[in-house]
Structure 1
Amino acid sequence: MRVLKFGGSSLASVERFLEVAGIVKQQLSAEPVGLVLSAPQGVTNLLVELTDLAFLGTDYLPLLQQWQQRLETLQSEAKDKLLAADNEALTLVREQQFAQLSAQLQGVALLQYCPDHIKARILGLGEQFSVALMTGLLKKLQIDTIALDSVACVKSQGDYLNAVADIPASEAALGAAIAKQQAQVYVMAGFVSSNSNGELCLLGRNGSDYSAAIVAASIRASVCEIWTDVDGVYSADPRQVKQAQLIDHLSYDEAMELSYFGAKVLHPKTIGPLARYQIPCYIKNTLNPSAPGTCIDANNNGDSLVKGISSLEHLALITVSGPGLKGVVGMASRVFATMAREQVSVSLITQSSSEFSISFCVAQLDLNVAKKALETEFELELQGKLLRPLAIQSDMAIVSLVGDGMRQHRGVAAKFFASLSQARVNIVAIAQDSSERSISAVVEQKSCRNAVKVCHENFFSHVPSIDVFLVGCGVVGSELLAQFERQQQFLQQRNVRLTVYGIANSKALLQDAQGINLASWQQRMDGQKQQFSLEALSQFVQDNHLTNPVLIDCTSAEAVAMQYADFLAAGFHVVTPNKKANTASLDYYRQLRLVAQQHRRRFLYETTVGAGLPVIDFLQGLLNAGDELMAFEGILSGSLSYMFGELEQGVALSEVTAKAKAMGFTEPDPRDDLSGMDVARKLLILARESGLQLDLSDVTVESVLPNDFAPGASVADFMAQLPELNSWFADKVAAAKSEGKVLRYIGEIANGQCKVSVKALDLNHPLAKVKDGENALAIHTRYYQPIPFVLRGYGAGAAVTAAGVFGDVMRTLGWQQEM
């Protein structure tokens, strides 16, 4: 015989009932079927709520009418699918249930007390309706069907609400019932059973899976199939991890570990009876019956390092500690005997090697009972200071890796803990059994989902994520978004998922939990009312459980730059071409690096000096190798490189400035370039990277223009007045030319001093040939001496700068975060 169990989601409507009947009919050709059913979807929840309302003395009649209407609607929709006699029988079942429920609720309300045996009778009503309805539908399909009374046939031990199977007694009762009545299909209610006194007992909430396992074990079924609304068991909860993968095979041990630690598809007690009698189990999807599902059996092929990642939430961690534990026999047994007496389930146990403390997890709902019981049990030890006061950490969760293959592979634990670190999750406690089949970590509840997500990325999908928030969508920012859009396919081919979740300008912030469509972001910016802020971005990251958020600052705003430390502390990587942060005070410069290190985030700013040229990376590499910067000279401004090249050809100063501004080479206010402060900031960044303790005021700056030219003028007025300097600057160009030289704007570091100035260079000087927007840097170090290392390339333009920022963004990938 085959045993098939269908859950509430598979019985949500008459249409679903008929689909189940069709699946059963298809399987009859081989052998008879034992059909175990849950209550129709939502019915048991209504019964729970009705019981609670009656217990509290609250008006429950409207909800009772809702429960009655739910069953009447199901019967009404099924009327044409039932024989007249079966429809009448269903009506009788429904009326009897209503009478019984009304009487019991009235008694609970009057007494404001609901003993467990009454609660069990109330909560078990829904499954009995499912049996009556399904039996009628199968008979209408001319299938020989008999309904068996689960209360009589399924035997259990223990309390009324969470009983444990009695397999020998169930085997005898079921065998006798089946032998008495031969049929093609035996329909039974899940969730309900009876004890040795014949009293109705429940098998624990959502216990229909367990019922099916008991039935399968009792009749030695050929297979047990658990039909639900998903294709099988997944490597993680697909509602939390979109990339969760279907597991095609699990051993019994793996399945028990996953179900115990929170896998929603399986009831934790289901696997035990099946494993005992080596009955294979399949998890199948009622909505997709052709899917192969997940097979659970005794085979242990160890084909995967880790089979799944599960989590058990809403826990509390209790720690019993003190000198009274060390070397004292029986203390641990007293702790757990106390929990057993109070019927408090312990999820995880860990003990220090010094025997100084024992920590264990219990359900958050059981915390008060557990705490009170322990304080009573150890009252004398607590008073005598042999034990410290109980340490309790609430709102905890357990994240577990499960897989038989873990035993044959080294480094699993290291990768697990590295993943938790990457997710910025603090590990409170660790446990691993001697079989090495699972390893668990206790973490804060609020961090649980992030922990599961990153672990799944590293063990299964191998597709690390980059979660982008861009502030500043001007020339460079817009080009960067365009590059992100163009490179999506390229990144996907290399297993990288880059998603832009937020875009901000000076007026508004656009955020989208599904990721922003980069082909239409400009239109969506209009009408956005939210403003850019750390609080807004942090809340979004928290709400959407993003694990690798990256702030990209493409503004030149000092206000944004001065928030970098806060963003790093909040868990964001920071990538920027904005030079303001690295040229602020030395204290802030040091703070940024310290905060980034403390919070394991990356602060990346390659484009602040050479745009797309790898200046910072090269210099840091030399210094890491023990080299030392001796001197530096270079052309650090692509815009001034272009302008001085044009000036050399006789183009007027005002004309070339307007042209460079129109081409996007200069800042919106060209005076930011012509003042020399942009070059001074770049030079200061290089100086600080090399170890010089300098501030911006220590850099000697010679402006391209006279210091007293157009003070306080607007950009438009400045551009209008600029022709006044055409002849003045043309004379300087001519004077240099008469000496066989050319003018270039140079940054220099020598003898611990920084200087930027207009210099006349001989034509054979390496920097004399640098123009047309190029940057060139000559780096003199102890290793590169006397011939310097020279970097040369374009340093102006949105595309080059955006490409450099893109490169930095890619360095925030999880596997690079330890660098």
Structure 2
Amino acid sequence: MRVFKFGGASVKDANGVRNLVKVLEETGHQNTFLVVSAMGKMTNAMEVVVKAYFDEQTSLKGALEEVRLYHQTILQELFENKEHSVYKKVNLLFEEVSGFLAWNKSPNYSFVYDQVVGYGELLSTTIVSTYLNEAGIKNHWIDIRDFIKTDDNYRDGRVNWEKTQQLIAEGVEENKLYITQGFLGSDDNNFTTTLGREGSDYTAAILAYCLNANSVTIWKDVPGVLNADPRYFKETKLLNKISYREAIELAFYGASVIHPKTLQPLQRKEIPLHVKSFINPRDAGTTVGKGIGIEPEIPCFIVKKNQVLMKLSSLDFSFIVEDSISDLFKLLHDYKMKVDLIQNSAISFSVCVDNKFNRLNDLLDQLSGRFKVVCHEDVSLYTIRHFNTEAIKSLQNGKDVLLEQRGKETLQLVVKH
């Protein structure tokens, strides 16, 4: 069995859905499992709904209506018959969201987030599955929440592999075309959980692992894995082959093409991962698999924006030793800070973090009683794998470098704009 994952950009409008049909016609679709993300930027739009629910109830109806109109436009372009059953299915999904928001009593933001935001995937797969059937590509729509079981760590659910493996083994038959949602799972109480942003790649890897799949293909709007993000860097080049280890390194440092958690289950069973263009599906793209390094071996540039750099020093000039560092990491964990870089000396400790849960001010309150804290917000963390002198010069040019860290193959710079 093969697993294909189509991201939001591939199904952002009616033409995208039609193109998905062409990709399947060119590649074949027997014994294939399709994982489909929310359409376009609908995850962001659903996040706006959640924010309105908590912060600005007056704008809630309008935020949800915007999501409804977006999908309605795509429906009208794909299904001219307004009596088609798909309209009813989509309306029912919106009624479910509205109903949840009306009766929910939980003040837990992350819980509400998972119950609401996941409808982006449920809507997209309902529309795509129905259109595939209309186009003569018979498929089986399934609710991934019935198969991927996680704990109740909302917004970042941890997979219960044993239970998930059992459910997939019992519920999935060979020689069929399945379509399901990325990003989602459910806990023991059958409440929806999500696997973290960009978690649809991870969904594909979980399915591939449990199905002993032949391969996973991630279909993107780029030719494959590039040595840099073309939104931020000029003159990018395609990487033809990457080893699992190199891909995990790139993902760890923030390369956006492959989700960091995606690679580990694939590596364990040596399942190759292809990253290909849904615009030119016959092109080779990039293959991630067993092997050495990258081909071609050229510098790879990664940037993480909107980071926070904290420089901590002891108030009495005493050494920052193991127990201090242990306390610091516990605080970073407690306030859900993702650590991207650390550097320490005898009396100082620098850490670059991603404040994705907006807990920075609470953390700073805790730290300021024990340390002298200098905090730089909205900095960028640049990483160069396989750096050379020319690559370093191109990155440092005209930038205010706050921190530099260099290893044998990796250079990292924290830069203030």
Q: CA deviation at 1:77?
A: 2.3
Q: 1:335 to 1:62 in 2, by over 3 A?
A: closer
Once residues 91 and 418 of structure 1 are traced to their aligned partners in structure 2, the CA distance between those partners, rounded to angstroms, is 55
Q: 2:258 aligns with which of 255, 266, 271?
A: 266
**Distance change in 2, residues 1:305/1:430 (3 Å):** farther
Match of 1:360 in 2: 351
What's the RMSD between the two structures over aligned residues?
A: 2.7
Shift of residue 130, structure 1, vs aligned partner: 1.8
**Other-structure match for 2:95:** 99
Residues 724-772 of structure 1: CA deviation (Å, up to 9, x unaligned): xxxxxxxxxxxxxxxxxxxxxxxxxxxxxxxxxxxxxxxxxxxxxxxxx
| Cα deviation digits, residues 38-75 of structure 1 (max 9, x gap) | 11113222222222223222233233333222222322
CA distance in 1, matches of 2:200, 2:344: 36
- Mapped partners of 2:14, 2:393: distance in 1: 49
Q: Check whether the contact 1:144–1:185 (CA below 8 A) recurs between aligned residues.
A: yes
For 1:129 and 1:349, how far apart are their aligned partners in 2?
A: 41
Secondary structure, counterpart of 1:58 in structure 2:
helix
- Please give the alpha-carbon distance, in whole angstroms, between the structure 2 residues aligned to 1:429 and 1:208: 33
Distance 2:295 2:98 in 1: 55
Cα distance in structure 1, aligned partners of 2:27 and 2:109: 42
| Counterpart Cα distance in 1 of 2:290 and 2:152 | 29
| Residues 1:304 and 1:43: Cα distance change in structure 2 (over 3 Å) | closer
Write the deviation string for residues 590-620 of structure 1: whole angstroms up to 9, x where unpaired: xxxxxxxxxxxxxxxxxxxxxxxxxxxxxxx
2: distance between equivalents of 1:103 and 1:303?
52
Match in the other structure for 2:333 = 340
Give the 3 Å change call, closer, same or farther, for CA 342–241 of structure 1 in structure 2.
Answer: closer
Q: Please tell me whether the aligned partners of residues 399 and 442 of structure 1 are also in contact (alpha carbons under 8 angstroms).
A: yes
1:138 aligns with 2:132: yes
* Distance in 2 (alpha carbons) for counterparts of 1:269 and 1:12: 25
- The 3 A distance-change label for structure 1 pair 431 and 170 is farther
* Distance 1:305-1:12 versus aligned 2 partners, 3 A rule: closer
Offset at residue 220 of structure 1 (A): 1.9
State the distance in 2 between where 1:195 and 1:114 align.
16
Q: Distance in 2 between matches of 1:426 and 1:44?
A: 34
Against the structure 1 CA distance between its residues 112 and 165, is the aligned structure 2 distance closer, same or farther, given a 3 Å change threshold? closer
Whole-angstrom distance in 2 between the partners of 1:351 and 1:415: 28
Q: 1:63 to 1:324 in 2, by over 3 A?
A: same
The alignment's TM-score, normalised by the length of structure 1, stands at: 0.47
1:312-391 aligned at under 5 Å gives the runs: 312-322=304-314, 326=319, 328-352=321-345, 355-364=346-355, 365-375=358-368, 379=369, 382=370, 388-391=371-374
Secondary structure of the residue that 1:75 maps to in structure 2? helix
Show structure 1 runs of 5+ residues with no match. 383-387, 407-411, 447-819
Q: Which structure has more RCO (C-alpha within 8 Å, separation ≥ 6)? A: 2
- Paired with 1:271 and 1:307, the residues of 2 have a C-alpha distance of 21
User: What's the offset of the Cα at 1:219?
Assistant: 1.3
Q: 1:252 aligns with which of 218, 226, 244?
A: 244
**Structure 1 residue 304: deviation in Å?**
4.5
1:139-538 correspondence runs (5 A): 139-157=133-151, 159-179=153-173, 182-301=174-293, 303-322=295-314, 326=319, 328-352=321-345, 355-364=346-355, 365-375=358-368, 379=369, 382=370, 388-403=371-386, 412=388, 417-421=392-396, 423-432=397-406, 436-444=408-416, 446=417
Displacement of 1:327 after TM fit?
7.1
Identity of matched residues, %: 25
Name the amino acid aligned to 1:336: F
**Alignment partners' CA distance in 1, 2:27 and 2:119:** 28
Structure 2 gap ranges (5+): none
* Partners of 1:327 and 1:392 in 2: CA distance: 18
CA distance in 1: counterparts of 2:321 and 2:65, whole angstroms: 60
Contact 2:125 2:179 in 1 (8 A): yes
Q: Deviations over 1:626-658 (max 9, x none)?
A: xxxxxxxxxxxxxxxxxxxxxxxxxxxxxxxxx
Please report the TM-score for the alignment, with normalisation by the length of structure 2: 0.90
Instruction: Please identify the structure whose Cα radius of gyration is greater.
Output: 1
Aligned residues between the structures: 413
* Equivalence for 1:638: none
Residue-by-residue CA offset, 1:666-699 (whole Å, 9 max, x unaligned): xxxxxxxxxxxxxxxxxxxxxxxxxxxxxxxxxx
Q: Is the 8 A contact 2:242 2:295 kept in 1?
A: no
* AA at the equivalent of 1:157: D
Distance in 1 (CA, whole Å) between partners of 2:411 and 2:242 is 17
Whether the 8 Å contact between 1:258 and 1:309 is mirrored in structure 2 is no
Which residue type is aligned with residue 99 of structure 2?
A
Change beyond 3 A, Cα 1:258–1:369 = farther
The alignment partner of 2:292 has SS state of coil
> Distance in 2 between the 1:13 and 1:77 partners?
9
Q: 1:156·1:166 contact (CA, 8 Å) conserved in 2?
A: yes
Counterparts of 2:149 and 2:81 in 1: how far apart (Å)?
33
- The 1:370–1:276 alpha-carbon spacing in structure 2 relative to 1, beyond 3 Å, is farther
Letter in 1 for 2:265: P
- Tell whether 2:66 aligns with 1:66: yes
Change (3 A) 1:417 1:7: closer
Label 1:369 to 1:298 Cα distance change in 2 as closer, same or farther (>3 A): farther
